[in-house]
Amino acid sequence: GAVVSQHPSRVICKSGTSVKIECRSLDFQATTMFWYRQFPKKSLMLMATSNEGSKATYEQGVEKDKFLINHASLTLSTLTVTSAHPEDSSFYICSASDLKDTQYFGPGTRLTVL
């Protein structure tokens, strides 16, 4: 149980395009999902907290217009990187909280912007 999936696992795109990453909780409902970013050899950095049916809460320094988050249902949250640039290349990881407030993480999405 407690499986979180992400799609795609890897994406390469041209500079200026937008990329959507999906995060799904497969066997539980998650009122809260989180999006993290991880640069090589660094720890995970929280980008935003996503609550079902409401606007996401972004961490300081994270541009909400650049990283659009939608949490349309209790099992799905999406992160859209708009007008991606090479500096947005990173490993993006989502997590979902179950009713006992334990976070389970997705496998991550590696984004490369050329």
Among 19, 56, 106, 113, binds other proteins (CB under 8 A): 106
Told to check if 89 binds other proteins by CB under 8 A, we report no
Residues 42-81 as b or e (16 or more Cβ within 10 Å = b):
eeeeebbbbebeeebebeeebeeeebbbebeebbbbbbeb
Backbone CA torsion sign across 82, 64, 31, 109: positive
Q: Cβ of residue 13: shortest distance to other proteins, in angstroms?
A: 19
Q: Cβ of residue 88: shortest distance to other proteins, in angstroms?
A: 18
Site for other proteins in 21-80 (CB under 8 A): 30-32, 34, 36, 43-46, 49, 51
Q: Cβ of residue 108: shortest distance to other proteins, in angstroms?
A: 5
